[in-house]
């Protein structure tokens, strides 16, 4: 195994379940990787991976939750913008009806008054046609 393959193997070991590794093991892996990178920079091996920050392992661990947070925030912004956009009529009707009821022509109590229903049934032109 040449140094390049060794470096790649070290990276794979670092990426796979680093959280499950004891700190001492993580330290030895990190040290080995740093040493490999240093040798690669000194020897200018072709195809060597570009130098990465020393805190590669710790910053790599932050990428996933940070990406999740960014995606969640983007989803929140899109959802909020969607609430401001014209919505299908049925959905808009659902959202508007409460405020339309209180600003409409009939008082709220009219919709629940059984006497008014009887009045409508017996005194409307529709019932007269029956």
Contact positions vs another protein (CB under 8 A): 73, 76-77, 80, 83-84, 93, 95-127
Taking the C-alpha atoms of residue 84 and residue 77, their distance in angstroms, rounded to an integer, is 11
Q: Closest CB to another protein among 25 and 97?
A: 97
* 51 and 41 Cβ atoms separated by less than 8 Å: yes
Q: CA-to-CA distance for 95 and 85, rounded, in angstroms?
A: 13
Q: Please state the closest distance from residue 66 (CB atom) to another protein, in A.
A: 13
CA distance readout (Å), 130 to 70, 122, 127:
63, 10, 5
Q: Which is nearer to another protein, 55 or 118 (CB)?
A: 118
Q: Identify which of residues 50 and 122 has a Cβ nearer to another protein in the complex.
A: 122
| Min CB(64)–another protein separation in Å | 19
Number of other residues whose CB lies within 10 A of the CB of residue 24: 8
What is the Cα Rg of the chain in Å?
34
**Cβ proximity to another protein, 35 vs 92, nearer residue:** 92
- Could you tell me the smallest distance in angstroms from the CB atom of residue 121 to another protein? 5
Kindly state the smallest distance separating residue 79's Cβ from another protein, in Å: 9
């Amino acid at each position: 195994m040449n140094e390049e393959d060794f470096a790649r193997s070290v990276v794979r070991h670092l990426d796979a379940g680093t959280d499950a590794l004891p700190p001492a093991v993580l330290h030895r892996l990190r040290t080995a990787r740093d040493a490999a990178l240093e040798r690669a920079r000194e020897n200018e091996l072709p195809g060597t991976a570009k130098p990465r920050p020393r805190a590669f392992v710790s910053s790599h661990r932050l990428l996933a939750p940070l990406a999740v947070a960014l995606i969640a925030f983007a989803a929140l912004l899109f959802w909020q913008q969607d609430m401001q956009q014209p919505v299908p009529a049925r959905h808009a009707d659902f959202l508007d009806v409460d405020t339309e009821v209180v600003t409409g022509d009939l008082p709220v109590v009219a919709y629940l008054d059984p006497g008014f229903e009887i009045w409508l049934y017996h005194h409307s032109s529709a019932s007269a046609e029956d």
